């Protein structure tokens, strides 16, 4: 199942020679002075605007000066005014958050290497070498290893399958979809035989932030024959780990309030004091209709993971694809055979002790399955990971004290809270 290697050559624009006209010197000087005065005015206006930042909840937007960053996937809200100067507070937060977003993007990237950074791409290019990684990436690998989940090793399948989300027409999707393509399905099964065998591929944690991506000679030979470039990739799970890393950077710098949420369902609430009320909208899909089923209310620091088998907004095109007849393809691939599976339309889980990545890794066996098993959620509740989901217009939850309000009621469906 060969593929064309990535073309990493940069685009170099053509050079144009521009002749400078020596005429109209006084006019050009006058225009230059006018533009200079306008620029000074804009700078003064900008400084005055920054100095007049008001206290209260505000979105902190990253300023990355064109550098590749994960900021576009996240929204960071913070209540300015915890210090004497909201403007200075905002400036410090912008600098810290911007740097954290750039660093996280670089570490978890499997697309390109960056100078002075050892990232996921670096490990894929250097199998069987002992390499030191950043502490944040090492923590992520520890989470994966502790869970026993093998989704990280699905990189070759992710690389092919992700093409389904870029098809302009549904007729093109069979090339990337093993459920429509028997040859591709057989290839995915061959890859998954390696994926699920730690003797063939495994990320060894050696302590001191040192790791080794161990790949067998047999798998390396298979990879060369199939033009496989990657053995590990966080892919759709990446933002769960990044949400935790952003939260870690903020709290380590003394910011113990605010919320960080990703466009694909991963959120961290940093409110350690627990003095503010928060609300999370819960949705449910019935057929082709998505309903705002209820509002979940809570207090205190939480990590929240919301999985769903359908797109929530236009930006979800990276992870969801609708096929004719209402079938949906998602990015939630099963490590057993490389097929996408969503056991239930929507499932939200949260914890006050675990992070997004830990919650996600616990949810994967429940959510990416042929059948939904509610009893498995009861087991997670005993570990401090609580869940809420909708089924037949009933809202089920595993935390007895959970507050649910604003239940949706319409002519076609009315939601109720299931007996605990």
Residues 169 and 214 in one domain: yes
Task: Write the CB contacts of 141 (distance below 8 Å, at least 6 apart in sequence).
Answer: 133, 203, 205, 211
pLDDT tens for residues 151-186? 999 999 999 999 999 999 989 999 999 999 999 999
Predicted confidence at residue 52, as pLDDT, reads 65
CB 332 within 8 A of CB 340: yes
Residues 174 and 253 in one domain: no
Residues 164 and 250 in one domain: no
- Residue 166: which H helix or E strand, with range? none
The count of domains in the chain is 2
Residues 199 and 304 in one domain: no
Predicted confidence at residue 312, as pLDDT, reads 80
Task: Write the CB contacts of 48 (distance below 8 Å, at least 6 apart in sequence).
Answer: none
The last residue of one of the domains, among 211, 233, 255, is 233
pTM to 2 decimals?
A: 0.87
Residues 127 and 186 in one domain: yes
Q: Is 77 domain-assigned?
A: no
The last residue of one of the domains, among 179, 200, 233, is 233
Q: How confident is the model at residue 66 (pLDDT cuts 50, 70, 90)?
A: confident
CB 264 within 8 A of CB 239: yes
Does residue 83 surpass a pLDDT of 80?
no
Angstrom distance (rounded) from CA 287 to CA 390: 13
Q: Is 247 domain-assigned?
A: yes
Beta-sheet pairing, 302-308 with 266-269: antiparallel
Angstrom distance (rounded) from CA 283 to CA 408: 10
The shares of helix, strand and coil residues in the chain, as percent rounded to the nearest 5, are 40, 25, 40
Mean per-residue pLDDT of the chain: 89
Q: Is 35 domain-assigned?
A: no
Does residue 25 surpass a pLDDT of 80?
no
Which range marks the domain in which residue 195 is found?
A: 120-233
CB atoms under 10 Å from CB of 221, counted, come to: 10
CB 370 within 8 A of CB 223: no
Predicted confidence at residue 39, as pLDDT, reads 53
pLDDT tens for residues 350-383? 999 999 999 999 999 999 999 999 999 999 999 9
Q: Is 36 domain-assigned?
A: no
Closest listed residue to residue 335, CA positions, set 171, 144, 167: 144
């Amino acid at each position: 199942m060969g593929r064309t290697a990535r073309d990493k050559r940069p685009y170099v624009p053509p050079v144009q020679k521009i002749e400078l006209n020596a005429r109209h010197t006084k006019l050009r000087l006058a225009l230059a002075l006018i533009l200079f005065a306008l620029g000074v005015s804009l700078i003064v206006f900008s400084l005055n605007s920054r100095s007049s930042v008001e206290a209260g909840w505000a979105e902190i937007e990253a300023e990355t000066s064109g550098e590749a960053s994960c900021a576009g996937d996240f929204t960071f809200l913070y209540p300015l005014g915890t210090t004497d100067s909201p403007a200075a507070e905002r400036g410090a937060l912008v600098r810290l958050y911007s740097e954290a977003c750039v660093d996280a993007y670089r570490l978890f990237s499997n697309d390109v290497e960056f100078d002075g950074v050892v990232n996921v791409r670096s490990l894929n290019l250097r199998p069987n070498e002992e390499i030191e990684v950043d502490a944040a990436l090492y923590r992520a690998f520890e989470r994966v290893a502790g869970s026993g989940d093998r989704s990280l090793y699905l990189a070759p399948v992710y690389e092919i399958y992700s093409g389904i989300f870029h098809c302009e027409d549904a007729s093109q999707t069979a090339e990337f979809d093993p459920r429509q393509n028997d040859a591709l399905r057989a290839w995915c099964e061959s890859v998954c035989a390696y994926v699920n065998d730690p003797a063939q591929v495994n990320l060894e944690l050696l302590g001191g932030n040192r790791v080794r991506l161990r790949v067998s000679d047999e798998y390396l030979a298979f990879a060369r024959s199939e033009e496989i470039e990657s053995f590990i990739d966080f892919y759709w799970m990446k933002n769960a780990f990044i949400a935790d890393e952003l939260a870690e950077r903020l709290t380590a710098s003394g910011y113990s309030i605010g919320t960080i949420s990703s466009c694909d369902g991963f959120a961290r609430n940093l409110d350690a004091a627990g003095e503010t009320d928060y609300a999370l909208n819960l949705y449910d899909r019935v057929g082709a209709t998505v309903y705002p089923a209820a509002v979940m209310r809570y207090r205190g620091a939480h990590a929240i993971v919301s999985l769903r088998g359908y797109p929530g907004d236009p930006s979800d095109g990276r992870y969801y694809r609708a096929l004719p007849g209402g079938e949906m393809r998602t990015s939630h691939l099963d490590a057993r055979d490389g097929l996408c599976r969503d056991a239930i339309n929507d499932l939200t889980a949260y914890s006050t002790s675990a992070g997004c990545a830990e919650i996600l890794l616990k949810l994967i066996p429940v959510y990416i399955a042929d059948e939904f098993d509610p009893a498995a959620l009861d087991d997670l509740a005993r570990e401090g990971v609580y869940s809420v989901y909708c089924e037949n217009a009933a809202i089920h939850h595993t935390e007895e004290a959970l507050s649910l309000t604003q239940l949706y009621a319409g002519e076609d469906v009315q939601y109720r809270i299931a007996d605990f």
